[in-house]
Amino acid sequence: MGARCSKLSVCWWPPRFKSPMLENGAAEDDGSGVPVFAEYSLAELRVATDGFATDRIVSEHGEKAPNVVYRGTLFSSGRTVAIKRFGRSAWPDSRQFLEEARAVGQLRSRRLANLIGCCYESGERLLVAEFMPHETLAKHLFHWETNPLSWAMRTRAAFYVAQALEYCSSKGRALYHDLHAYRVVFDAEGNPRLSCFGLMKNSRDGKSYSTNLAFTPPEYLKTGRVSPESVVYSFGTVLLDLLSGKHIPPSHALDLIRGKNFLVLMDSCLEGHVSSSDGTDLMRLASRCLQYEARDRPNLKTVVSGLECLQKDVSTPSHTLLGIQHDNKNSDRISLSAIGKAFARADLNEVHEILLHDGYDEDDTANAELSLQSWNDDVSESFVVKRHADNAFRSKDYSTAIECYSRFIDSGAGVAPTMLGRRCFAYVVAGNPQEGLEDAKRAEVIASDWPMGHYLQALALHNLGREAESQEALKNGTALEAAMNSRARTV
């Protein structure tokens, strides 16, 4: 007969506990500060977005391939991410989707909003990328409320995007689909970055352009295919946006340039803030990128070189040019220890090992809050029950562990925070996270400086779907663990 697994045994974990880092053997990051590419479960991304709540939506767009971008928070790391959810009609071939995502996920550049993961469960197709908190280039160009985008930031945005495209091309990803001002986003430091989403085709028929046909490369209209020269053409439309502060059809702009009436194209907000020579140089570069014949357009290396010469205020930080407050602290990340990470990614095997050893001595009752009753046969019997509970916990017989720990605690013989921690964990694995949360909170009351009480609360809260509270508990546990380690070093 084959072995059977109890519903409480270690081989049965709820899907929400599965961690992409654990399953794929992936490290937190590859040294770039960006997580390595991982495959996430639908359950984790659903929790990260509060069930794909409407108040988490960052943007909605696309007619041929409708998609929604959410702001999410990954429980496994505390990282804030952008999660793009495609419509059901997109990517019918899950293998093709995964291959494309993995290829794009290998790219890592400070000029990209990098792709860090994907999900392809149950007909769903989702991409996970670095979150850029300071809106799109289109927002700052077309919908500014107080201050227009400065010339220095406009040329910096053009330069950084050109560098991103050149980097992608050097890594074998020369094709970028439907490049426009909404694809350029600003990170926490105010630096312009190119969204990684445009590096993947995103519709059933492989079409890559869903914008107004007036902005589509001529050769795409003829063949339906994107080429590296098509990307240069689309980049030329972005340069027009930066020059004019408006979305002007390339054909109209080229007519004005040929008629030497290009000053009409310049954004009136830039008057007196840009030299005529700089404006002319950028205009000429844009017109070269927008040539009807693909062979007449410059390559990306030439574009990058031309834009580098136009850079102004290079020593001024991007957040200053963008006019945003810059916080040196990265509030979107929680710097976790190895123990904290085990709880954050819900690695139940590792958490079980931690609870077996952390501050727990089964033969030492000094930490127990014993009642004042005299030692008698009842108390002696209670500690036999406790020993049974410890043995059951060690062997992962969680139903017996819950029963015996409860009998010991109810007897009044004593209670220790580590004992409550073990019962909390057993409750969570058994599918009773509310009872587990109560035990973790009680352990915190008994031992307020014990980080495990907070870490266990984070685990239980996550299982209850209370993500914000779970993240706060992780932070509290991390702070207590750091303080505890600091005290240990000074002894």
The set of catalytic residues is 178
Name the nearest CA neighbour of 252 among 278, 215, 209: 215
Please give the structure tokens belonging to residue 276.
Answer: 């005529």
Token pair belonging to 120 = 């392809």
Amino acid at 366: A
Which amino acid is located at 325 in the chain? Q
> Measuring CA to CA, how many Å separate 426 from each of 29, 429, 430, 445?
31, 5, 6, 20
Residue-wise DSSP of 230-293 = HHHHHHHHHHHHHHHSS---HHHHHHHHHTT-GGGGS-GGGTTTS-HHHHHHHHHHHHHHT-SS
State the Cα–Cα distance between residues 214 and 198, nearest whole angstrom.
Answer: 19
Contact 117, 128 (CB under 8 A): yes
Give the strand order in the sheet containing 38-39. Answer: 38-39, 115-119, 126-130, 80-86, 67-73, 57-61
Question: 217: how many CB neighbours lie within 10 A of its CB?
Answer: 27
Is residue 1 helix, strand or coil?
Answer: coil
Asked if 70 and 109 count as a contact pair (C-beta separation under 8 A), the reply is: no
Cα gap 155→174, rounded to integer Å: 22
* Residue-wise DSSP of 300-362: HHHHHHHHHTT---TTS-HHHHHT----SS-TT-----HHHHHHHTT-HHHHHHHHHHTT--T
Do strands 115-119 and 126-130 pair parallel, antiparallel, or not at all (unpaired)? antiparallel
Residues 117 and 38: beta-carbon distance below 8 Å: yes
Question: Would you call 411 exposed, middle or buried from its count of C-beta atoms within 10 A (0-12, 13-18, 19+)?
Answer: middle
Contact status, residue 57 vs residue 69, Cβ threshold 8 Å: yes
CA distance 388 to 393: 9
